[in-house]
Every structure is written in C-alpha cells, then in structure tokens.
C-alpha cells in the first residue's frame, strides 16, 4: 500500500507550479519542483541572463543520498515512493562540522569590489580561483601526484616535490598538517589521534581521498564507508529492496583493507606485505608470495615488449 507523501509544515509542493514543472531529475522520474521559497533550478530569473541557482534540500533521505539523486522535503520522498521503498525513507544524519580548524588571515575585500558582501559575489568556493591560491586541504589532498602534470595538482596549482603547496600560504596554517590524510596510511603508527579523530572521517585511502570519493564507491557493501560511521545501518533496512537484492558483491570491489577485517587491524594494507618482510614472519607464505609476484612480473614483462628493465 502506498502512503501519501507527508509534507512537513510549510511545505506546499503540490502547487500548480509544481505540477506543471515536474522535474525529470531522476531518469524520468517525475519530481516535485521545489518546496517553499525555493526557486526552480536552471531557469533564468526574469531580467537577468543568469540561471537560477540550484537548490538543495536540507536533508536528503538515505535512499536518495545513496543514489545521489534528487530528494525532497517530503517523507517519504517521491523517489522512494516511486520505488516502493517509502518505508526506508528517512532523513540522513549530518555529520557534525569540525571545530577548531585554524585558518590563515583573511583577505579583506575592497569596498569598491561592488557587491562583495552578497554570497553570489564572493569568490567561488571549492575551486580556488587562480588569483587566490589559498591553502585548501582538499586541494592538498588532490595535490598528490596522481597523474597530474608535474608540479601541479588537478587544479593546476603548484605543489612542491613533497606534494605540498609551494605557495607560502601553506605555511600560514601549521595546524593543518594534522589533517594530512594521505600520511595516515603511510604511517601505520599514526593512529589517527588528534584532529582526525573528530568527525570520524579519517581512514581515507591514500589516493582519491577527496570527500567525494569517499561518498561513492568505497562503500558498496555499506561496511567500510566513512559515511556509515555516522549513519549506522539504517540503510540496511529490510525494505531497502534494491540494495538488498543486489548480488552481494560490490560493483567496485572494495579492497580487503576496508572490510570488516580491516576494522580490527586498520593498517593491514600497509602492514601486510611489509610487515611480513620485515619481521620475518612465516616464511613459507612470504616465499610463495614472492614467487607469485615474480611470476606476475615476468608475465607482465612478457606482455610489454618495451625496453623495461627487469627485476
């Protein structure tokens, strides 16, 4: 039995406006337009050529959140209703914001800059504009040399040989190094105390440690997701048919580190091979592992007829 969507107080979605503007946000799934006071996305506001800003609900339901789809203020949201998972349509919980994050001195804007005080007029967020190479932990993470041009991160910003910003802005914030996510995995002993403890968003994989990367692929199995820490298992609801019915294997296989086994020893990945080698643990296993490795190497070398040096 399908329940009627619940519209919270003040919500007036089923308006003529809404009905005539069903959004095709979710693959043809008709969506109510926007709740009170929310402008329709992607329509130029009258008089200006600027497209209206996209509006977001304050809190998407867990299902929409997982699917990265448009949600609604109503519970159950139209999408859940459509897919018959209305009973699992619950608000996701938001992670608490970090506190105590120090910043460098602000750049004060000139008054003459015009409407600098309006949010729209401010500098774009997230993406640093070229003229303000601010230190940004996100970019710092992104600045790890994974396939970006030499000395540049993905935004074309320079970093030095150690993957840090060459700009002195970086020096302004001696506090941030505590958040250097990549290091965590590299240093098994760094047990995530200090800043990383808060908010529960440590344990980034070294690469693609960006917030978004953590949002998506890493948690197909719902287990190792950094996100899940704040949202314990309301996802794994019996009614969540879509996900439950999926063949249990994740589409993007999660490396063993992120599975539950990793929970007991968070650093398996690093400690795994290295530890065996260094502490001389069971040699048989090591031997066979090495043998397999060399086999693989040989095979790879055979395939690539290029002048690569052998091991």
Site residues (CB under 7 A) for DNA, limited to 40-59 = 41-42, 53-59
Closer to DNA at the Cβ: 176 or 266? 176
Position 295 contacts DNA (CB under 7 A): no
Residue 10: name the closest of 35, 29, 31 by CA: 35
Q: Are 163 and 143 a contacting pair, CB within 8 Å?
A: yes
Q: Which of residues 71-110 bind DNA (CB under 7 A)?
A: 71, 83, 92, 94-109
Minimal distance, residue 128 CB to DNA, in Å? 7
Other CB atoms within a 10 A radius of the CB of residue 281 amount to 10
Q: Are 240 and 88 a contacting pair, CB within 8 Å?
A: yes
Minimal distance, residue 120 CB to DNA, in Å? 8
For the window 133-172, what string marks contact with DNA as x by the rule CB under 7 A?
A: -xxxxx----------------------------------
Closer to DNA at the Cβ: 122 or 298? 122
Minimal distance, residue 143 CB to DNA, in Å? 13
CA distance 44 to 24: 18
Q: Which range of residues in 5-13, 69-77, 262-270, 288-296 is near DNA by CB under 7 A?
A: 69-77
Q: Which of 188, 199, 239, 272: binder of DNA (CB under 7 A)?
A: 199
Q: Are 183 and 190 a contacting pair, CB within 8 Å?
A: yes
Write the CA distances from 248 to 68, 84, 180, integer angstroms: 20, 21, 33
Other CB atoms within a 10 A radius of the CB of residue 104 amount to 15
Structure tokens that stand for 254 in this block = 């999660």
Closer to DNA at the Cβ: 252 or 261? 252
DSSP 280-300: T--HHHHHHHHHHHHHHHHHH
CA distance 107 to 115: 16
Q: Residue 296: CA atoms inside 13 Å, Cβ hemisphere, count? A: 6
Minimal distance, residue 283 CB to DNA, in Å? 38
Minimal distance, residue 5 CB to DNA, in Å? 15
165: helix, strand or coil: strand
Q: Which of residues 237-266 bind DNA (CB under 7 A)?
A: 242-243, 246, 250-252
Closer to DNA at the Cβ: 109 or 292? 109
Token match 């995530």: residue? 192
Q: Which range of residues in 20-28, 145-153, 183-191, 286-294 is near DNA by CB under 7 A?
A: 20-28
Minimal distance, residue 285 CB to DNA, in Å? 31
Q: Which of residues 200-229 bind DNA (CB under 7 A)?
A: 201, 211-213, 215-217, 220, 227
Other CB atoms within a 10 A radius of the CB of residue 248 amount to 9
Residues in the interface with DNA (CB under 7 A) total 76
Minimal distance, residue 38 CB to DNA, in Å? 7
Length of the chain: 311
- Phi, psi of 152, deg, nearest 5: -125, 145
Q: Which of 19, 45, 117, 261: binder of DNA (CB under 7 A)?
A: 117
């Amino acid at each position: 039995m399908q329940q009627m969507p619940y519209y919270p107080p003040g919500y007036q979605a089923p308006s003529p406006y809404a009905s005539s503007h069903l959004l095709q946000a979710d693959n043809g799934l008709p969506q109510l337009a926007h709740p009170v006071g929310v402008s329709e996305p992607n329509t130029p506001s009258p008089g200006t050529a600027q497209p209206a800003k996209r509006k977001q609900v304050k809190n998407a339901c867990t299902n929409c959140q997982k699917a990265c789809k448009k949600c609604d203020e109503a519970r159950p949201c139209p999408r859940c209703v459509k897919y018959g998972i209305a009973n699992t349509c619950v608000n996701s919980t938001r992670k608490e914001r970090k506190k105590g994050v120090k910043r460098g001195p602000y750049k004060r804007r000139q008054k003459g800059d015009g409407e600098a005080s309006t949010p729209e007029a401010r500098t774009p967020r997230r993406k640093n504009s070229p003229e303000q190479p601010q230190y940004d932990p996100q970019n710092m993470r992104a600045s790890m040399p994974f396939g970006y041009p030499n000395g540049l991160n993905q935004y074309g910003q320079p970093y030095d040989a150690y993957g840090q910003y060459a700009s002195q802005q970086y020096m302004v914030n001696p506090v941030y190094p505590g958040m250097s996510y990549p290091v965590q995995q590299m240093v098994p002993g760094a047990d995530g105390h200090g800043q990383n403890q808060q908010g529960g968003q440590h344990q980034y994989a070294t690469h693609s440690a960006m917030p978004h990367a953590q949002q998506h692929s890493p948690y197909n199995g719902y287990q190792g997701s950094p996100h899940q820490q704040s949202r314990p298992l309301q996802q794994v609801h019996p009614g969540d048919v879509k996900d439950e019915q999926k063949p249990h294997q994740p589409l993007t296989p999660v490396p063993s580190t992120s599975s539950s086994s990793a929970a007991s020893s968070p650093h398996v990945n690093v400690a795994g091979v290295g530890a065996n080698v260094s502490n001389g643990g069971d040699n048989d296993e090591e031997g066979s592992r090495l043998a397999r490795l060399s086999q693989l190497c040989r095979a790879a070398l055979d395939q690539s007829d290029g002048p690569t040096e052998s091991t």
